[in-house]
Amino acid sequence: MASLALRKVISQVPRNVLYLSTRSLSKNLVDTFSMEHATGLEKKEMMAKAAGNENPFDMRVYKRGPGTKTDPNIIPSAYEERLIGCICEEDATCINWMWLEKGDPKRCECGYWFKLVDAKPL
Amino acid sequence: MAKHTHPFHMVDQSPWPLTGALSALTLTMGLIKWFHKMNPNLLMLAMFITLVTMIQWWRDIIRESTFQGNHTSIVMSGLRWGMILFIVSEILFFASFFWAFFHSSLSPSIELGSSWPPSGISPFNPFQIPLLNTAILLSSGVTITWAHHSIMENNHPQSLQALFLTIILGLYFTSLQAWEYWEAPFSIADSAYGTTFFVATGFHGLHVIIGTSFLSICFIRLMFFHFSPNHHFGFEAAAWYWHFVDVVWLFLFISIYWWGS
């Protein structure tokens, strides 16, 4: 390994040590190289972000809509159920958690309605 | 096909935490046996188990990150915090040795001849090898930054050259320290001076060796193109660690080698 390392270094010297690299890569090129290098979930995340999706894993807190029975808050999920937390009032100091299942909308104890809909996993 | 509905890395079951615990126990027992019976065989076995655990565990992490792509941005953030907290704990580790040094040196006891350095101790001249070592570590800080910028610019040849130079400077530092330990006119058993000097500089030297190994692993991974311009945390962690070791040396040089002599 040591001789391999030394050979690798020495083979690069004459071509590159003599000039100064002042050119810097554009942000675009750095992203392209890095995305080509990546794989798996990391790559899927990078591609989603490059496509303009800043929230590929659906991690953000949703702003509640009207939340009536006929117009419930829509919650996406790739599964049959999702644990959701409702901040019932603006100045509430706790979060009310409940399981939301696919099918009929469900009401939080504060009165707001929620409905689970299908979402595609990344 | 697994559903990717979250960005976290759910790790597989692994035997390495268990073999790591085994190696830690064997290491303490091996040291005690070595100290008391002058017999290093259990210690050697412990070093072997430790080495095997480290190689296999970190090999698995390289597979999970570079080849399986499990390290999403949020996983990287967790690794960053882990490394930051680890280095903070290391800072506190060294703080205790500086505490011991200043405790003994700021009001030297009557047993030390009420002077620092204690009577009978002839310390090193800080402007010979220690100053050279300062220059070496500061230069290695420059070359590692050069390596980092080359990685970010996708300049593979220069990143290899700069990282190679950094490792050589690390080895040069270690050999000079070894030479100076060999030449030292005092030992770890020579008063609070020898004790604080060798414990503080010895643990620093050990950290330089660990840092050089960390950088060498990065060099091998760099040769195999494991690092991309915006994902190379293994290298960044090694660089943070190297800078930490560098800064500890500056404090050692200023307080123990220079002020303390």
Q: What is the pLDDT of residues B19-38, one digit of tens each?
A: 999 999 999 999 999 999 99
Measured CA to CA, the distance from residue B220 to residue B209 in angstroms comes to 17
Please state, in angstroms and rounded to a whole number, the distance separating the CA atoms of residues A102 and A81: 6
pLDDT, position A17? 47
pLDDT digits (tens, 9 = 90+) for B206-227: 999 999 999 999 999 999 999 9
Considering its fold, how many domains does chain B have in total? Answer: 2
Domain A73-118: CATH architecture, name and number where available: Sandwich (2.60)
Residue B194 within a domain: yes
For residue B117, say if its preceding peptide bond is cis, omega within 30 degrees of 0: yes
Question: pLDDT band at residue A18, thresholds of 50, 70 and 90?
Answer: very low
**Whether the predicted pLDDT of B105 surpasses 60:** yes
Yes or no, beta carbons of B4 and A9 under 8 Å apart: no
The residue written with tokens 């123990």 in the block is B256
The answer for A 59-98 residues in CB contact with B (under 8 A) is 59, 77-79
On whether the CB atoms of residues B214 and B163 are closer than 8 A, the answer is no
Give the domain extent around B40: 15-70
| Portion of chain B with pLDDT greater than 70, in percent | 99
SS3 content of chain A, % helix, strand, coil (to 5): 30, 20, 50
CB atoms within 10 A of CB A91: 5
Q: Which of A8, A39, A45 sits opposite B7 (nearest CB)?
A: A45
B79 plus B206 within the same structural domain: yes
All structural domains of chain A with their residue ranges? 2-50, 73-118
Q: Which is more confidently placed, A120 or B194?
A: B194
Does residue B129 sit in the same domain as residue B44?
A: no
Same domain for B236 and B222: yes
Same domain, B82 and B21: no
Which residues contact residue B78 at a Cβ distance below 8 angstroms, ignoring those fewer than 6 apart? none
Do residue B44 and residue B87 come from a single domain? no
State yes or no: pLDDT of A20 exceeds 60.
no
User: B164 and A5: CB-CB below 8 Å?
Assistant: yes
Per-residue pLDDT, B198: 98
Q: What is the mean pLDDT of residues B117-123?
A: 95
Any domain includes B79:
yes
User: Could you tell me which residues are beta bridge partners of residue A100?
Assistant: A82
Chain B CB contacts of A38 below 8 Å? 69, 228, 231
Q: What is the mean pLDDT of residues B50-79?
A: 97
User: Which chain B residues are within 8 Å of A3, Cβ to Cβ?
Assistant: none
Give the residue-averaged pLDDT of B192-203.
98
From A30, A44, A122, residue closest to B230, measured CB to CB:
A30
At which of B23, B49, B70 does a domain end? B70
Q: Are residues B22 and B35 in the same domain?
A: yes
Whether B66 and B160 map to the same domain: the answer is: no
Report the alpha-carbon distance of residue B33 to residue B36 in Å, rounded: 5
The Cα B196–Cα B96 span in angstroms is: 10
Alpha helices in chain B (DSSP H): 16-37, 41-62, 73-106, 129-152, 156-183, 191-223, 233-251
Output the DSSP codes for B218-238. HHHHHHTT--BTTB-HHHHHH
Model confidence band, residue A83 (pLDDT cutoffs 50, 70, 90): very high
Rounded average pLDDT over B10-20? 97
Greater pLDDT, A19 or B213: B213
Same domain, B59 and B134: no
Residues B50 and B22 in one domain: yes
Quick one: B157 and B98 in the same domain? yes
- Asked if the model's pLDDT at residue A74 lies above 70, the reply is yes
B158 in reach of chain A (CB within 8 A): yes
CB pairs under 8 A between A and B: 89
Using 50, 70 and 90 to split pLDDT, how confident is the model at A5? confident
Mean pLDDT lowest among A44-58, B157-171, B204-218: A44-58
Residue A82: HSE in the Cβ half-sphere, 13 Å Cα cutoff: 23
A12 with B219: Cβ contact below 8 A: no
Residue B90 in this model has a pLDDT that exceeds 90:
yes
Question: Which residue is listed with tokens 């698995």?
Answer: B60
Task: Say whether both B116 and B195 belong to one domain.
Answer: yes
- pTM, rounded to two decimals: 0.88
Using one digit for the tens of pLDDT, what is the confidence trace for A61-70?
889 889 999 9
Same domain, B36 and B93: no
